[in-house]
Structure 1
Amino acid sequence: MASVYLCLLLFAVLPASSSSLRSESGDREALLTFKEGLFDTSGSLSSWNSTDTNYCQWAGVTCSIRHPGRVVSLSLPSRGLDGSISPAVGNLTFLRALDLRSNMLSGEVPRTIGRLHRLRQLVIQNNSLHGEIPQELGNCSNLVDMNLAANQLQGRIPDVLGSVSRLQYLNLTYNNLVGGIPASIGNLSSLVFLSFYQNNLEGTVPEVLSHLVHLQFIQVARNNLSGTIPPLFFNISSLQILGFGSNKLQGSLPPDAGANLPVLKELHLGNNHLSGMIPSSLANATNIELFSLARNSFQGRVPPEIGTLCPLRVELGGNRLEAEDDEDWEFLRSFTNCTRLQLLDLNSNILGGVLPGYVANFSRKIEWLSMAGNHISGVIPPGIGKLVNLVDLQFAGNNMQGVIPDDIGRLQNLKVLLLQENRLSGQIPSSLGNFTRMLTLALSYNQLDGSIPRSLGNLERLTSLDLSSNRLSGVIPDEIFTLSSLTDFLSLSGNYLSGVLPPQVGSLKHAARLDISRNNLSGNIPEAIGNCESLVYLTLDNNFLTGGIPKSLGNLRALSILNLTRNAFSSSIPREVSKITGLQQLYLAHNNLSGSIPLMLGNLSALVELDISYNHLDGEVPSLGVFTNLTGLSLLGNDGLCGGISELRLPPCQVKPHSKQRQQLLLKILLPVAIIVICLSLLLSLFLLFKGKTKVSRKKIDSLRMFDDKYPRISYNELFQATDGFAPASLIGAGKYGSVYKGNLSLPVSRNAATVAVKVFSFHQACSSRSFMAECEVLRRVKHRNLINIITSCSSIDSKGNDFHALVFEFMPNYSLDKWLHLGADEQWHKLSLVQLFNIAVQVADALDYLHNNSQPSVIHCDLKPSNVLLDSDWTAYVADFGLSKLVGESVDQTRLNSDSSIGIRGTIGYVAPEYGEGGQVSVAGDSYSFGITLLEMFTGRAPTDDIFREGLSLHLFSEMAFPDKISEIIDPTLLQAQPFNKDARLDIALACITSAISVGISCSKQDPLERKSMKNAAAALHKTRDLVLEYFV
C-alpha cells in the first residue's frame, strides 16, 4: 500500500516540478538574451555569467520569495548601458518592476512588454528610445507608474493608455509626440501625476481631464495646445503644480480661480494668449511659491492682494498691466513684507508713473528684479544698494532720469545690469568697478557724460559691455581693452570719445563684436587688431582714423562685417583682406584710399556687399564674385577705375606703356593742354567779370566748398542730358523753391547710368539760393542711415546765362510716404503693412533724434511732413529736404543764410508748430510737433489739412478725443484689412501697438512746446512697440 501511495505522489509532483524548472530556465534565458543586446562598458553586468545558475543574485535582479526563481524586478538605473532593450524582456512574466532609467539605450520600446500583466512600474526615462509608444502597453492593467520621459518617442499618445485604470503616475515629458491629448486619459481616475511637458501636442485640453480630482501635478507646458483652460481645473483642491505655460491657450481666468487651490505651490500659465484681468482670488492660494503669468495679454492693474501671496518668484512680464499712481503701485508695497521673495519680473508692460522708492526695501534675498520696457519715470531708488544679493537688475527702456546712484556699487553679486534706453545723466560711477562678477553691463541710449571710468577694467568676467549712444568723452581707458573675458560685444559707438586705439585692443581675443563707430578717434589702427581672431563684427566708421588699413586684418578669419567708412585712411586696400574667407560685408567708402582693387576680393564667395565709393582708387575692376552683383556693389567717386563687367559701363583698361615713355608722353600731352586751359580760364574769367554775366556770389561759392570736395562736381550740360532737357516727363515733384527730376546719370566714378533724383532750385525765387546753401550746409555736416544721401552737386549757369543750382540724390523708387498714405481710388498699389509703418516711424524718429541730439551742431529740420520722407526699394525711410533747416548755435551770418524773410511760417501748413505762426523761436520742439502730426497721419490715414479739420477741430484733437478707448474708430480702416491677421489675440496686439503709436503722436503734437515728448523719448517708445510688432507679425 505504501508503495502505491508513493507512486501516486510522484505522479502528482513530477509534472509540477518539471514546469517550475522550465519557468526558471526561461527567466534565466530571457536575462541572458537581454544582456546580449547591450554594451556593458562599465562592467555593471559582470556578475551575469552564463555558467552561473544562481541568476537571482545577479546585479539588478530580484526574484520572488513566494515563487522561487521567478524574476519580479529588473533594476539597472544609471549603469551606462548602451544598446537596445531586447524583446526577451517580455518573457519575464512575473516582472513587477522594470527600471532602466538614465542609460544610453536606443531602439524602440519592445511591444512584448505588453505581455507583462503583473508589471506595476515601467521606468525607462532619460534614454534615446525612439519609435512610437506601443499600443500593447494598454494590456499592462496593473501598471501604477509609467515613466517614458526624456527619450525621442514619436507618434501619437495611444488612446488605449486610458484603459490602464490603476495608473497613478504618467510621465511622457521631453519627447516628440504629436497629435492631441486623448480624452481617454480622463478615465484614469487614480491619476496623481500627469506630464506631457515639451512635446509637439496640439488641439484643445480635454475638459474631462479636469475631472481627475486626485491630481496633484499636471504639466502640459511647451506644446502647441490651443483653446481655453477648462475652468474646473481651478477646483481640484489637491493640485500642487498647475502647468499650462508656453502654449497657444487663450481666454480669461475665472474670477474664483484661486478660491479652491489651498495647497497649490506653482502656477505656470506664462507664454500663452490669455487675456482679461488678473483675478484677485488668486491671493487665496496662500502656499504658492511660483506665480507665473508672464508673456500673455493680461491687462489692467495688478490686484494689490497679489502682494500678500509672498511667493518666491513672481513673473508678470510681457503683458499689458498698467500703473499710473501710488494706488496702482500698491501691490508692490505688499512685496516689501515678503521676506523670501527671490524674483520679481514686471518687464514689458505699460506700467507708468514714478517708481516708488520702497522698492529698495524688498527682501535682501531678492536675486532678480526687472521692470524693463515700461513707461516708468522717476529715479533709480536711493538705497538700491541694500539689495546685496541681486544677481540681475533691469530698468532698461523706461523714462527714468537722474544719475546712477553710487551705492549701486554695493551689489557685488550682480551679473546683469541693464539700464539702457532711459534718460539717465551724469557720470558713470566708478563704483561700478566693484561688480567683479558682472557678465553684462548695458548703459546705452542715455545722456551719460564725462569719461569712462578706468575701474570698469576690474570687471574680469564681463562678456558684454554697451555704453553706446551717450555723451561720453575723453580717451578710452586702456583697461577696457584688456578685458579678455569679453566674448559677446564691446560697443562704445555714438559718443564723443577721442584719442587713439591703443595696442591693448589686441587683448580682445574672444570678443565677437567691436563697435566704436561715430566717435572722434584719430591715429592709426594698431596692427594688434589682428589678434582679435574671434571678431565677427568690426565697425570703426565715422571717426578720424588715418594711416593705412592694417594688413593684420587678414588674420580675422571669422570676420563677417567690416565697416571703416568715413575716416581718412590712405594708401591701398591691403591684399590680406582677401584672406577673410567668411567676409560678407565690406565698407570702405569716403576715405582717401588709392591704388588698385585687390583682384582676390572677387574670390570671396561670401562677400555680398562691397562699398568702396568716394576714394581715389584706379586700375582694373575684377569681374568675379561681388563685382558681378550690381545691387551690392558701389564704386562711385573713383575716377581711375576701368574694366569690370560690361554692366558697370567703365572705360576699358589701357595697356600701360613703358614708364619712361609714359612720362614723356604725358608731358607732351599735358603741357600744351595745361597752357591752353589756363589761357582759356583767364579769358573766360575776364569776360564774365566785365560783362557781368556771372551772378555767383562769394556765399554761393562757399556753399560748394562746404562739401570739402567729398562729392564729384558735375556740369549743367550733363544734368540737362540726364533729364532729357528737364522734360516734363522727367518731372517727379515740385515745390516752392524748385523742382525734382528723374534722370539717368553716368558719373565719372562708375560710368554706369545710375537712376538719380535731380533737385533743381528755381532762379525765379529770390530765396531759392538761400535754400540751396542751407541744404548744402546741413548735408555737409550730417550723416545718418535714415537721412537722404547726396551723390553730387552743380552750381553753374544754364544755357540762358542764369544761375543754376542743383543737388543730385539717390533715386527713391517708392517715392514719398505721402504717396502711400493717400493712394487714389484708381491706384492698384497695396497699402503699407503694419510692420512697414512701424519701421518707417522708427526710422524717421531715429533720424530726427540724431539731428537733435547727436549731430554737431544740432539741426532743426523745420519742414518734416510725409512728402519729405522718401522710401527706397526696401521701404527704408530717408528724411529729405533741408532747405528750411536751422543749425542750432550758428552764427548771425549763417542764420541769415538759413532764414527766409519772405515766409512768416517756417514749414508747411498743417505740420508747422503753432508757435511758429505766432513768431515763436525755432526749436527742436517744432520738429517734434511735425513728427507727431506725421505719425497721427500714418495711422489714421487723415492729413491735417483734410476738410474734416475745421472750426477748432485738428488732427491732434481728433486723435486725443478717441484715445484710448475709441482708437479703433479713427485708425485707417484699410490698415487692419490689409494685414494677415487671424481671428485671435493678434488683432488685439495690433490695436494695442497702434494705440501706443498714436499715444506718441499725441504727446509730440501738444500745443505747448514744453509739454511735447522729445524725439529721443519718442524714438525709444516707438522702438519698444516696433519690437512687439516684429515679434508677432513677422
Structure 2
Amino acid sequence: MINIPLLLLSCFLFHHFHAISCNTNTDTDVLLSFKSQVTDPKNALSGWSAHSNHCNWYGVTCTKVGNRVQSLNLPGLSLSANLSPHLSNLTFLQSLDLSNNKFHGQIPKDFAHLSLLSVINLPSNNLSGTLPPQLGHLHRLKILDFSANKITGQIPQSFGNLSSLENLSLARNGLEGEIPAELGNLANLSTLQLSENNFSGKFPSSIFNISSLVFLSVTGNHLTGKLPQNLGLFLPNLENLILATNMFEGVIPNSISNASHLQVIDLANNKFTGPIPLFYNLKNLTKLILGHNNLSSTTSLNFQFFNSLRNSTKLQELRIHENHLAGELPKSFANLSSNLQHFCVSDNFFIGKIPQGMYKFQNLISFSFEINYFAGVLPQELGALNNLQNLAIYRNRFSGEIPDIFGNLTNLNTLAMGNNQLSGRIHQSIGQCTRLSILDLGMNRLGGTIPKEIFQPSGLRILYLEGNSLQGPLPPKVGTMKQLETMDISDNEMSGNIPVEIGECFGLKWLMMARNKFNGSIPTKIGNLASLETLDLSLNSLTGSIPESLEKLEYIQILNLSFNHLEGEVPVKGLFTNFSKFDLQGNNQLCSLNKEIVQNFGVPVCVAVKTKRRILLPIILAVVGAIALFISTLFVFWTMMSREKKRKEGKTSVSSAPLKGLPQNITYGDIRIATDNFAAENLIGKGAFGSVYKGVFSFSAGETATLAVKVLDLQQSKASKNFNAECEALKNVRHRNLVKVITSCSSLDYNGEEFKALVMQFMPNGNLNLKIHPGDEESGSILTLMQRLSIAIDVASAVDYLHHDCDPPIAHCDLKPANVLLDENMTAHVVDFGLARFLSQNTPEKQSSTLGLKGSIGYIAPEYGFGSKASTEGDAYSFGILVLEMFTGKRPTDEMFKEGLSLREFVSGMDENEVVMIGGDRRLIEDYGYSTQSSNRDDHSSGFGSNTHWMCKAEECMADVIRVGLSCTADQPKERWNIREALSKLQAINHSMLPF
C-alpha cells in the first residue's frame, strides 16, 4: 500500500532542494552584476570571480544547505554606485550591511521582496529620495538603519507594521513632517534614533507606551508637546532619554525617576517650565542635562533637587544652566556624587555663597558658576581640585582678595573671574598653571603691578586684565607669549614705555592698551605682528612719530591712536589708505602731505623739508653705502678663509652662527663630558641610525647651555650616508620651525673608533609623538585642539620653506610625529634630515642616505613603494597622515588598520558628522567646548557665551582640518594639495577660530 503523505513530503523536499540548487547560479549572477556596477577603490571585491564559489567571496556568507547567499556584509570599503534593485533577487538574504560606503540614489522598493531580511544596515552613505513604504512588509526585520544619509520626506506609516523591529535609526537625514503615531505599535523596539532631522508637530505619546525602549533620541528637530506625567511608568527599561534641542514645553514630570535604569537624561534647549524635577532612585544616572529651558526654583526647591540626587553615585555631568533658577545653593550640594566631572549652573539668578564641601569633588574638570549673583569670598577649597581644567565664575559679585590657591591647579586651562568685585594683587601662583589658555581677571578692583609670572604659561591665548587699577609697566616677558592672540589691559593706571618685546608676540590679533598712562614711542616692531586686527593705544601719553612699519598690517580693522602726543608725518601707504580703519584725533602735532588725510582728520599740512637737508641726505647715503660695501667685501674674504680652514681640519660645521661662548669645533671629549659619558638618564630618544642625548655644555664665560646631541651608530651600514645627507641638507636651511643645528663633530673616540655627531638646539617638550599618544610613554599632557592646529601650521610652514624657498628644493622624506620637536613655548620644529633629497633636475640623488622606501611605515606615500623618486608630493602625503593622526588620535600603524583599511580610508569613508563624532579625537572638542568662551567684550557685562556655540565651532574646525589631511593624502600625487595650499587653509581655519 502506498503511503500518500510520505510520497507528498518526498516530492516537496525534492522540489524545494532542486529549487535551491538551481537558484545558486542566480545568486552568483546577482553578485557579479552588483560588482560590475560598483566602484571599488580598495579592490575588496577583486576575489569575486565566476570561476570560484561565491560562498568563499569576501563579505558573503551562505546557508549550510544549498549555498544560497544568507548575508552580504561590506562595510567601510568606500564602495560607490547606485544601490542596485537586483539585490532583491537574493531571496535567502537575511542580513545586508553596506554601511560607511558611498552608495547613492534611492532605496530600492524591491527590497520588500526579501521576506527573510532581519538586518538592513546602510548608515553613512549618500542615499537620497524617500523611504519606500513597501519596507513595512518585512515582518522579520529587527534592525533598520538609514542614519547619516540624505533621505527626505516622511516616515511611512507602514513602518508601524514592522512587528519584529528592535532598532530603528534614521538620524542625520532631511526627514520632515510628523513622526507617525503608528511607531507606537513596535512592541519590541529598544532603540529609536531620529535625531538631527526636520521633524515637527507633537511628539506621539504612543511611543512612550513601548515598554521595551532602551534608547530614545530625537534631539535637533522642531518637535512640540508635553511629556506624559507618568512617563517613568511607561518606560521601565529606558536607559537614554535624549530630547534636546526641540520645542517641548510644560513641566518635566517627577515620575521620570521611576525609570530606574536611566543613565542619560538630556532635555536641554527646549521650553520646559515649572520647578526643577526631582530625580530619586536613579542610581545609574551618569548625565543630567537640563540647560537652556525656563525652569524656576527657590532655595527650598534647590534643596529638594540636590537632595534627590544623593543616591545617583555615578553622576558625572550635571548641567542646569540658562534657566530661571533662583535662591541659594543648599549645603546638600556637597552630597552630589564624588565622580562629578562637569558642574554647570551658569546664567541663572542664584545668590549667596558657594557652599562648603568642594574638596570632595576631586574628579571635577569643569566648574561653571558664571552669570549669577553669587557673593562672598572664593573658598580656599577650590585649590584642592587638582584635576580642574575650567573655572568660570565671571559676572557675579564675589569680593575680597583672590586666594593664593593656584599652585596646585596645574591642569587649569580656563580661569575666568572677570566682572566681579575682587581686590588686592594678582597672585604670582597663577603662573604655575602652565596649561592656562584663557585668563580673565578684567572688570574687578585689582591693584599693584602685573607679575611677570603671569606670562609663564606658554599656551596662553587670551588675557583680559582691563578695567582694574593696575599700575607700573607691562613686563617685557610678554614677548615670550608666542601663542597670545588677545590681550586687553585697557582702563588701568599702567605707565612706562610699551616694551619692544611685544613685537615678538607673533600670534597677536587683538591688542587693547587704551586709557592708561603709557609714554614713549610706539615700538616699530609692532609692525611685525602680521595677524593684528585691532590695535587700540588711545588715551595714553605716547610721543614720537607713527611707525611706518604699521603700513604692513594687512589684516588690521581698527587702529586707534587717538588722544596721545604723537608728532610728525602720517604714513600714507597700506592701512593708512583706508580712512575707516584708523583714528588719529587728539594728536595736535601730526601732519600730512596727503590732502585726503588733511581733510578727513583735520591735521595740518607738513612743512617742506629744507633744501640743505635734501642735499646732505644723498651724500650721507653714498658714504654709508661705500663703507657697507667695504665691510661686506672683508666679510666675504674672511668667510672663505674660515671655510677653507675648516675643510683642512676635517670638520663639518652645519651652522654658521654657533651659540656665543660655545666652541665652534666641539670634540668627542666635550660631548662625552656634556652627556656624562652618554649616561642612560640623558638619553632622549633612539632612532634607526643613532641615539639622541641631552648634554650640558660649558661656555667660555663659565655659563652653561643645554643642547641635544645626535650620536650616529656607525655600526649601521647607512649611518655615515645618513650623517652626510643631513649635514648637506642642513647647512643651507634656516627657518624658525626647523631645529637649529649648532655644529657637528666628526673625529675619533678614546678607543680610536670613528665618531660622528650633530649638536642641536634642545627641545624641552620632547617630540610630538609623545604628546598625541601620552599613554605610550611617561610624558606630558594631551595637547589641546588649538595647540594641535598651531603645531600643524608650524610643520606646514617648515615644509613649505623646504619646498618653495630653498634652492634647490628639498624633500624631507620622513615626516612623522617623532620628527617634530616642541620647544618651551610648544612651537614645533621639524628635525631629522637623514633621508632628505635635493630635487634639482640637474642633481642626481646621490645625496640620499637610503635606497628603496623613503620614510617610515604608515607615513610613506604609496608611489614610493613602486620606486618613484622623492618628491614634494610625497612630503605632502606624509604631512596629511600626520595631520590625520594628530586630530583623530589614531596611529596609521594601529592594529585596526588591516585587511586593506588605512587611517586615510577610515576617515574618508565617513561623512562630515561622523568624521567629528567618530573619526576625530572627541576629547579635543569637549575640552575646547568647555574651556573656550565667547570673546565679545564690546560690552564688558556680556562675559563669555554659550559652550554649545564653541563646541559647534570646534567641531567645524576639526572637520575642516581633517579635510586638509585628506586633501594631502589623495592616492594620486597630482591630486594632492601641495604644502602651500595646506598651510594657507590651516591658517584660514585658525583665523576662523578667533574669539571675536
TM-score range, shorter chain: 0.5 to 0.7
Higher RCO (CA 8 Å, separation ≥ 6 residues): 2
Match of 2:528 in 1: 531
Classify the secondary structure of the residue corresponding to 2:176: coil
Does the 8 Å contact 1:105/1:128 carry over to 2? Answer: yes
**Pair 343,659 (structure 1): closer, same or farther in 2 beyond 3 Å:** closer
Match of 2:587 in 1: 591
Classify the secondary structure of the residue corresponding to 1:575: coil
Distance 2:105 2:533 in 1: 41
Pick from 132, 144, 147 the counterpart of residue 145 of structure 2.
147
Classify the secondary structure of the residue corresponding to 1:552: helix
Deviations 1:306-333 (A, max 9, x none): 3413411111111122224xxx513313
Pick from 545, 550, 553 the counterpart of residue 547 of structure 2.
550
Distance 2:456 2:126 in 1: 45
Distance 2:435 2:327 in 1: 34
Deviation of the 1:277 alpha carbon: 1.0
AA aligned opposite 2:41: T
Mean alpha-carbon deviation: is it higher for 229-238 or for 217-226? 229-238
Classify the secondary structure of the residue corresponding to 1:119: coil
Deviation of the 1:1022 alpha carbon: 7.3
Is 1:516 the counterpart of 2:517 in the alignment? Answer: no
Classify the secondary structure of the residue corresponding to 1:283: coil
Pick from 147, 153, 170 the counterpart of residue 168 of structure 2.
170
Match of 1:29 in 2: 29
The runs of 5 or more residues in structure 1 that have no matched partner are 1-7, 602-616, 622-634, 642-655, 661-1018, 1029-1034
Pick from 372, 397, 400 the counterpart of residue 399 of structure 1.
397
AA aligned opposite 1:23: N
Deviations 1:539-567 (A, max 9, x none): 22222222232222233222222222222
Is 1:39 the counterpart of 2:42 in the alignment? Answer: no
Distance 2:252 2:943 in 1: 28
Distance 2:430 2:401 in 1: 13
Distance 1:406 1:658 in 2: 59
Deviation of the 1:454 alpha carbon: 1.0
RMSD of aligned residue pairs (Cα, Å): 3.4
Match of 1:933 in 2: none
Deviations 1:819-871 (A, max 9, x none): xxxxxxxxxxxxxxxxxxxxxxxxxxxxxxxxxxxxxxxxxxxxxxxxxxxxx
Q: Where do residues 180-199 of structure 1 align in structure 2 (5 Å cutoff)?
A: 180-199=178-197
Distance 2:500 2:443 in 1: 28
Distance 2:545 2:110 in 1: 75
AA aligned opposite 1:313: E
Distance 2:939 2:609 in 1: 62
Deviation of the 1:116 alpha carbon: 2.0
Q: Where do residues 388-467 of structure 1 align in structure 2 (5 Å cutoff)?
A: 388-467=386-465
**Pair 470,316 (structure 1): closer, same or farther in 2 beyond 3 Å:** same
Distance 2:562 2:265 in 1: 53
Classify the secondary structure of the residue corresponding to 2:177: coil
Does the 8 Å contact 2:475/2:499 carry over to 1? Answer: no
Distance 1:591 1:658 in 2: 21
Classify the secondary structure of the residue corresponding to 1:521: strand
Deviation of the 1:636 alpha carbon: 6.0
**Pair 530,1025 (structure 1): closer, same or farther in 2 beyond 3 Å:** closer
Is 1:286 the counterpart of 2:283 in the alignment? Answer: yes
Deviation of the 1:597 alpha carbon: 7.0
Deviation of the 1:244 alpha carbon: 1.2
Classify the secondary structure of the residue corresponding to 2:398: coil
Does the 8 Å contact 1:193/1:216 carry over to 2? Answer: yes
Classify the secondary structure of the residue corresponding to 2:261: coil
Match of 1:352 in 2: 351
Does the 8 Å contact 2:214/2:240 carry over to 1? Answer: yes
Does the 8 Å contact 1:552/1:576 carry over to 2? Answer: no
Q: Where do residues 602-751 of structure 1 align in structure 2 (5 Å cutoff)?
A: 618=598, 635=600, 637-638=602-603
Deviation of the 1:268 alpha carbon: 0.9
Deviations 1:956-981 (A, max 9, x none): xxxxxxxxxxxxxxxxxxxxxxxxxx
AA aligned opposite 2:552: N
AA aligned opposite 2:307: E
**Pair 48,571 (structure 1): closer, same or farther in 2 beyond 3 Å:** farther
Does the 8 Å contact 1:442/1:467 carry over to 2? Answer: yes
Does the 8 Å contact 2:525/2:549 carry over to 1? Answer: yes
Q: Which has the larger radius of gyration?
A: 1
Distance 1:58 1:536 in 2: 60
Pick from 363, 369, 386 the counterpart of residue 371 of structure 1.
369
Does the 8 Å contact 1:101/1:127 carry over to 2? Answer: yes
AA aligned opposite 2:45: L
**Pair 306,397 (structure 1): closer, same or farther in 2 beyond 3 Å:** farther
Does the 8 Å contact 1:340/1:365 carry over to 2? Answer: yes
AA aligned opposite 1:186: G
Does the 8 Å contact 1:578/1:598 carry over to 2? Answer: no
AA aligned opposite 1:26: T
Pick from 313, 317, 322 the counterpart of residue 318 of structure 1.
322
Pick from 265, 284, 297 the counterpart of residue 300 of structure 1.
297
Match of 1:850 in 2: none
The runs of 5 or more residues in structure 2 that have no matched partner are 1-7, 612-937, 948-996
Deviation of the 1:243 alpha carbon: 1.3
Distance 2:497 2:56 in 1: 77
Distance 2:265 2:96 in 1: 33
Match of 1:66 in 2: 65
Match of 1:564 in 2: 561
Deviations 1:127-178 (A, max 9, x none): 3333322333223222101111222322222222222121110111222222
Classify the secondary structure of the residue corresponding to 2:175: coil
Does the 8 Å contact 2:556/2:575 carry over to 1? Answer: no
Distance 1:403 1:513 in 2: 29
AA aligned opposite 2:126: S
Q: Where do residues 772-851 of structure 1 align in structure 2 (5 Å cutoff)?
A: none
Classify the secondary structure of the residue corresponding to 1:178: strand
Does the 8 Å contact 1:75/1:98 carry over to 2? Answer: yes
Does the 8 Å contact 2:415/2:440 carry over to 1? Answer: yes
Does the 8 Å contact 2:556/2:581 carry over to 1? Answer: no
AA aligned opposite 1:369: F
Match of 2:905 in 1: none
Match of 1:710 in 2: none
Deviation of the 1:444 alpha carbon: 0.8
Distance 2:609 2:515 in 1: 45
Classify the secondary structure of the residue corresponding to 1:470: coil
Deviation of the 1:463 alpha carbon: 1.9
The normalised TM-score by structure 2 is 0.57
Deviation of the 1:194 alpha carbon: 0.6
Q: Percent identity?
A: 31
AA aligned opposite 2:355: P
Distance 1:38 1:81 in 2: 6
Does the 8 Å contact 2:406/2:429 carry over to 1? Answer: yes
**Pair 443,65 (structure 1): closer, same or farther in 2 beyond 3 Å:** same
Distance 2:196 2:493 in 1: 49
Distance 1:423 1:657 in 2: 54
**Pair 585,181 (structure 1): closer, same or farther in 2 beyond 3 Å:** farther
The normalised TM-score by structure 1 is 0.55
AA aligned opposite 2:548: K
Deviations 1:239-280 (A, max 9, x none): 11111111111111234332x111111111111111111233
Q: Where do residues 907-918 of structure 1 align in structure 2 (5 Å cutoff)?
A: none
Distance 2:354 2:526 in 1: 44
Alignment length, in residue pairs?
607
Does the 8 Å contact 1:125/1:151 carry over to 2? Answer: yes
**Pair 267,470 (structure 1): closer, same or farther in 2 beyond 3 Å:** same
Is 1:269 the counterpart of 2:267 in the alignment? Answer: yes
Deviations 1:95-137 (A, max 9, x none): 1111122234443333332332211111111233333223332
Deviation of the 1:64 alpha carbon: 1.2
Match of 2:679 in 1: none
**Pair 465,194 (structure 1): closer, same or farther in 2 beyond 3 Å:** same
Match of 1:88 in 2: 86
AA aligned opposite 2:44: S
AA aligned opposite 2:216: I
Does the 8 Å contact 1:564/1:587 carry over to 2? Answer: yes
Does the 8 Å contact 2:554/2:574 carry over to 1? Answer: no
Does the 8 Å contact 2:575/2:581 carry over to 1? Answer: no
Distance 2:78 2:421 in 1: 57
